[in-house]
Structure 1
């Protein structure tokens, strides 16, 4: 005789239509318990879903239901599902957008009652609303802490088009998971058209500005870093995550395998942005010389620091660009350093990411093809490369057309005769 399952362990039953379903008691977001069902084509599939459900219950994670408030579902999704699928920086961004903007506006709506009109109206109002008033709009504030519009002095700060796109992405991703769990029949955020973003024109440094910047950076202890960023187009986190084992100075190349980002108060090492971002990049002779000198300088700093040279145990021990005590350089500190360099070099102020654009524009000016630039920068598709640097490529394309004119004119003068007819 089969042993009877204990109370709360869940049950698996075969339905008349041939499918299986299981039931188990789970926690609601309000702390009470309710019975929840999962379905599947095979017993093993349902057993797996049941085990996952019970594991979340043991961890105290509330289970989702179709009638729960959308704000509660967002909490569940961000706690139980998103961490397994999103990178830490993306998850941190999604949590902030949900807390500041989405929950105050849509949090009280029932998950199964959320409509395309609700999402469309929210995005429309969000685009034209004051950021000061959007943050925590559902909370009562003390008299002295009212939002700026309430006192008649709007700060006129509006969300960027990119922020509106991110908000839409959060809604789309969360509701797609609700569909997978069969809590809703359709993803209403997918029905609403994705907000468009007007692409900002990339304004890289020109050759003269680059030379002035690098000349000013020569006395800087991280001079090799600035040259590397301009020469290879590495992202800020990719460059600061490099170790000496990633670099082959004799072969003149480096391997991008990790990055470092600040998530709240921690510096976290992770994988690069996309699979294409894991790449091998060739180094110029100038970069090889600068890195060789930087290694010698780092050894001198290590000896001077003595016992104070204490890398964080969880971090790689042979980082290339460290502080004077051997710790990882905070990516945010590069922004301050570059601002000072631009001021001292008397060039216009640019972001660290603009050095990546500068690398691409310099390569295009030298006639390097878009596919090679894509591989160097680690773009996921060549379309991204072409779209981002279309305005820079106009000059290159014009030069190519002029070279074609020169070639054709040269050919006709050399031959000294017209082309024969096709029927001869």
Structure 2
């Protein structure tokens, strides 16, 4: 009886399992999976890795895409290809011109040059981390956060179109670090600034910014029909925006940005002064005045005011007040920090600022809450007494 060979045959791969092999030409490991036939020709999706383990991971990724129903026989899109499509989709969704301009700016200046040549389905969290890390020290943390946010939104859109099975940007923490902790304007510094602007045509703009926390765009888009002086309240219902079409009136930033704001003595004073000033300017302008805009803070002819003129005037008076570090947006932050220091709840401040989430408010004002939290923690000692 002949002796049977003791050697074992290599087990047959299951259908669709794919193959892993090392290329003799350069030692690179290759993962390949059959993905169907196009025009009678067998098609394979191929991935590569420096090691066998990396190739196995690549094979599994391709297999997951196939199971998810992605058409792997199509010519692969690059990140740039998808970003162009995504911008068209956003335009069809009737996004505001300013939002579209912001998306295009981030895509054209940052994403397309940095990641555009990468295949969309090959984009990894590691590649995104390296890309964002390259901006550290060169761009502000806020800019890095914005770049990451636009990329994350674009990749979510790719998932909605069944081009990706997961959004790798969501697992990346932007390399720019957290938001800068803003230096908070103190009440005494606020009074110094307000004394510096006293009597200026734009005095009420800056006074109302501190008194209500409105954004510049919301202040310049505010109408008298949205102000109730007797009821001591105003409503944010529109804003002034700049786009490729020039200065236009548009909807607020988010649905939560449409909000009522109660008015106290300081805010009411600012608005009453402004109403008296506009009555004089309207009389001086005569027929050139444009009453149809109904703006609280227009230019001298009743039309929308150039936002850059507000910034220029602000920069003049902050220097006069010795507050060179102060930014116009810091007046909005002063409103929030004054309320939090007075003991208001974070949720209340979130609603008044029109933030989309309480997390955003907490991220911005955590430095204000920390001392209060420490004081609150002393209540444990008071409750439990001296146990030492």
After TM superposition, the score normalised by the length of structure 1 is 0.65
Check conservation: 1:172, 1:187, Cα contact below 8 A: no
CA separation of 1:346 and 1:170: change in aligned 2, threshold 3 A: closer
Q: Show the 5 A alignment for 1:55-94.
A: 66-84=75-93, 86-94=95-103
Deviations 1:343-366 (A, max 9, x none): 122234311110111111111222
- C-alpha separation in 2, matches of 1:387 and 1:78: 29
Q: Residue 148 of structure 2: which of 163, 168, 177 is its match? A: 168
- C-alpha separation in 2, matches of 1:207 and 1:234: 18
Q: Residue 298 of structure 1: which of 270, 273, 278 is its match? A: 278
Deviations 1:143-181 (A, max 9, x none): xxxxxxxxxxxxxx7233443333333333333333333
Q: Does 1:377 align with 2:357?
A: no
Q: Residue 124 of structure 1: which of 127, 130, 140 is its match? A: 130
Ranges in structure 1 where 5+ consecutive residues have no aligned partner: 1-64, 131-156, 413-424
CA separation of 1:301 and 1:93: change in aligned 2, threshold 3 A: same
Deviation at 1:332, TM superposition (A): 2.7
Check conservation: 1:310, 1:327, Cα contact below 8 A: yes
Residue aligning to 1:115? 122
- C-alpha separation in 1, matches of 2:170 and 2:212: 41
Q: Residue 362 of structure 1: which of 292, 315, 338 is its match? A: 338
Q: Residue 202 of structure 2: which of 190, 214, 222 is its match? A: 222
Deviation at 1:109, TM superposition (A): 4.2
Check conservation: 2:184, 2:330, Cα contact below 8 A: yes
- C-alpha separation in 2, matches of 1:129 and 1:296: 49
Q: Residue 275 of structure 1: which of 255, 259, 265 is its match? A: 255
- Larger displacement relative to structure 2 (211-220 or 187-196): 187-196
Deviations 1:323-348 (A, max 9, x none): 11212122232221111111122234
Q: Does 1:178 align with 2:163?
A: no
- C-alpha separation in 2, matches of 1:223 and 1:129: 38
Q: Residue 255 of structure 1: which of 223, 235, 247 is its match? A: 235
Residue aligning to 1:97? 106
Deviations 1:226-252 (A, max 9, x none): 111101111111111110000000011
Q: What's the Cα RMSD here? A: 3.1
Number of residue-to-residue matches in the alignment: 312
- C-alpha separation in 2, matches of 1:268 and 1:126: 33
SS in 1 for 2:329: helix
Check conservation: 1:171, 1:189, Cα contact below 8 A: no
Q: Residue 193 of structure 1: which of 149, 153, 172 is its match? A: 172
- C-alpha separation in 1, matches of 2:209 and 2:220: 10
CA separation of 1:347 and 1:381: change in aligned 2, threshold 3 A: same
Deviations 1:166-212 (A, max 9, x none): 33333333333333333x24245347524253221121211111111
Check conservation: 1:334, 1:352, Cα contact below 8 A: no
- C-alpha separation in 2, matches of 1:360 and 1:120: 37
Ranges in structure 2 where 5+ consecutive residues have no aligned partner: 1-73
- C-alpha separation in 1, matches of 2:200 and 2:251: 29
SS in 1 for 2:256: helix
SS in 2 for 1:267: strand
- C-alpha separation in 1, matches of 2:135 and 2:340: 40
- C-alpha separation in 1, matches of 2:224 and 2:328: 22
Deviation at 1:399, TM superposition (A): 5.3
SS in 2 for 1:76: helix
Check conservation: 1:232, 1:281, Cα contact below 8 A: yes
Deviation at 1:108, TM superposition (A): 3.8
CA separation of 1:203 and 1:79: change in aligned 2, threshold 3 A: same
SS in 1 for 2:93: helix
- C-alpha separation in 2, matches of 1:355 and 1:228: 9
Check conservation: 1:105, 1:122, Cα contact below 8 A: no
Q: Does 1:389 align with 2:368?
A: no
SS in 2 for 1:255: strand
Check conservation: 1:128, 1:159, Cα contact below 8 A: no
